[in-house]
């Protein structure tokens, strides 16, 4: 098994662990992803759907639930009446912070099984993966 194979399997398994922890707290992983994306700014539905790699109808259903929870708000676009922007509310920011903290604690629980050097390398690797994903997202938004 290559390093990439092991990494893919680890990320998939970690995703499942996060999905379970979030579910226990009444949030889905897709909801968490939307809140995290919206924490970067306001976005039209088309960009959110593109970033999540879901259809517009799927996004509408997902966002409907977030609006019901009071975590997301829809507003008319100031210059394009055909477009609606999605905003993270204060309650959404609070909920995202709580969920992020819970997931961070879960990750800490996994990483405590590594020695100090291994843990530092794993944390560096996760930070680099986040950087790569952020750069990829920026490239997708600007293209």
- Partnered with residue 86 across adjacent β-strands are 43, 74
- Are 96 and 35 in contact by the 8 Å Cβ rule? The answer is yes
The whole-number pLDDT of residue 141 equals: 65
**Residue 29 pLDDT exceeds 80:** yes
Positive or negative: CA dihedral 30, 32, 33, 34 = positive
Query: What mean pLDDT value characterizes the chain?
Result: 89
**Residue 143 pLDDT exceeds 70:** no
pLDDT by residue (tens digit) across 38-61? 998 888 888 888 888 888 888 889
Q: What's the whole-number mean pLDDT along residues 13-37?
A: 92
């Amino acid at each position: 098994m290559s390093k990439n194979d092991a990494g893919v399997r680890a990320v998939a398994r970690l995703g499942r662990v996060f999905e379970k922890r979030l579910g226990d707290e009444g949030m889905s992983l897709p909801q968490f992803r939307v809140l995290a994306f919206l924490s970067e700014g306001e976005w039209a539905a088309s960009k959110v759907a593109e970033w999540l790699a879901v259809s517009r109808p799927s996004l509408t259903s997902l966002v409907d639930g977030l609006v019901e929870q009071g975590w997301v708000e829809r507003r008319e676009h100031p210059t394009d009446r055909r477009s609606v922007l999605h905003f993270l509310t204060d309650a959404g920011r609070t909920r995202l912070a709580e969920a992020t903290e819970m997931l961070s604690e879960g990750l800490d629980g996994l990483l405590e099984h590594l020695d100090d050097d291994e843990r530092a390398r794993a944390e560096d690797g996760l930070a680099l993966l986040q950087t790569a994903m952020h750069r990829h997202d920026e490239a997708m938004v600007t293209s």
